[in-house]
């Protein structure tokens, strides 16, 4: 069974249309995107559930999702899809069939200048992870175990921002560093994806920038 998780937050009514502070205008399209993904999984005989975590910091939302995922042994894969991302259901199905520990679909930075891929670090707003790799990370980081605000199970702050070699990293890049320390690679899937209204398909051509900018 696949656990589809979306870290999000509620947009205050005073936030204007198109503001980078919110996902206003995408909710209807996003809901349809998720429903199509679930139907695609159903067609290949795979059950799925969807959970959206509103009104909390993204790294906390991801920690809560990881806790709920690990609490139910029926879940085999965790699919992350941010609320400002749209993908075709075939992309999600391919990630599931790829049998990789972690598969991520790179997408454009807001403004469209480049893709959020820097060396071994990649934005994880459209990615899939197996139960085995998440369990391995949880066992490797007992210090990141916390109490859940939503259920009786523990959670793991695997996306908690960290400082690495003097640089402050965001939640996704911090997860990537912890993953690399365990010797696990992230498989990149080059597929069309819409991020914040911009459509792109990564081809490995963005600048291999200094590892100083984090999402």
pLDDT in tens, 129-147: 999 999 999 999 999 999 9
**In angstroms, what CA-CA distances link 111 with 21, 170, 195, 203, 213?**
14, 19, 10, 18, 15
189-206 mean pLDDT: 75
38-43 mean pLDDT: 96
Residue tagged 């085999």 (tokens)? 76
Q: How confident is the model at residue 157 (pLDDT cuts 50, 70, 90)?
A: very high
Structure tokens at 134: 């998440």
Q: Using CA atoms, how far apart are residues 12 and 19, in angstroms rounded to an integer? A: 11
Helix, strand, coil tally for the chain in percent (to 5): 30, 25, 45
- According to the model, what pLDDT value does residue 9 have? 58
4-28 mean pLDDT: 56
Beta bridge partners of 81: 126
9-36 mean pLDDT: 60
- According to the model, what pLDDT value does residue 80 have? 97
* Average predicted confidence (pLDDT) for the chain: 83
**In angstroms, what CA-CA distances link 57 with 66, 74, 139?**
14, 27, 24
Q: Using CA atoms, how far apart are residues 99 and 173, in angstroms rounded to an integer? A: 22
Could you state, in order of their start, the residue ranges of all structural domains in the chain?
A: 2-11+20-200
- According to the model, what pLDDT value does residue 10 have? 52
Beta bridge partners of 127: 80, 104
Mind giving me the DSSP string for 150-202? SSSSEEE-TT---EETTEE--HHHHHHHHHHHTTPPPEE----EEETTEEE--
Indicate the DSSP class of residue 16. Answer: P
Higher pLDDT, 148 or 197: 148
pLDDT at 195 over 90: no
- Residue 7 near residue 82, CB atoms below 8 Å: yes
Structure tokens at 207: 């600048």
Beta pairing class for 77-81 and 193-195: unpaired
Q: How confident is the model at residue 111 (pLDDT cuts 50, 70, 90)?
A: low
- According to the model, what pLDDT value does residue 55 have? 63
CATH class of 2-11+20-200: alpha beta
Secondary element (H or E) of residue 37: helix 27-43
pLDDT in tens, 54-106: 767 889 999 999 999 999 999 999 999 998 889 999 999 999 998 899 999 98
């Amino acid at each position: 069974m696949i656990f589809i998780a979306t870290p999000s937050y509620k947009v205050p009514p005073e936030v204007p249309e198109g503001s980078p502070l919110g996902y206003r205008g995408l909710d209807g399209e996003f809901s349809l995107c998720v429903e199509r993904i679930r139907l695609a999984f159903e067609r290949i005989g795979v059950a799925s559930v969807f959970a959206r975590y509103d009104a909390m910091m993204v790294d906390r939302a991801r920690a809560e999702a990881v806790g709920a995922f690990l609490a139910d042994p029926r879940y085999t894969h965790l699919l992350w899809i941010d609320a400002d991302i749209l993908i075709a259901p075939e992309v999600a199905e391919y990630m599931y069939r790829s049998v990789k520990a972690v598969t991520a679909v790179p997408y454009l930075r807001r403004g469209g200048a480049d893709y959020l891929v820097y060396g071994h670090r990649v934005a994880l707003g459209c990615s899939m992870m197996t139960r085995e790799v998440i369990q391995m990370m949880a066992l490797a980081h007992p210090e990141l175990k916390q109490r859940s605000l939503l259920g009786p199970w523990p959670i793991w702050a695997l996306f908690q921002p960290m400082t690495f070699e003097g640089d402050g990293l965001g939640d996704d890049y911090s997860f990537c560093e912890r993953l690399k320390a365990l010797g696990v690679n992230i498989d990149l899937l080059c597929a069309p994806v819409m991020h914040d209204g911009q459509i792109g398909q990564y081809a490995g051509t963005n600048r291999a920038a200094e590892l100083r900018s984090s999402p």
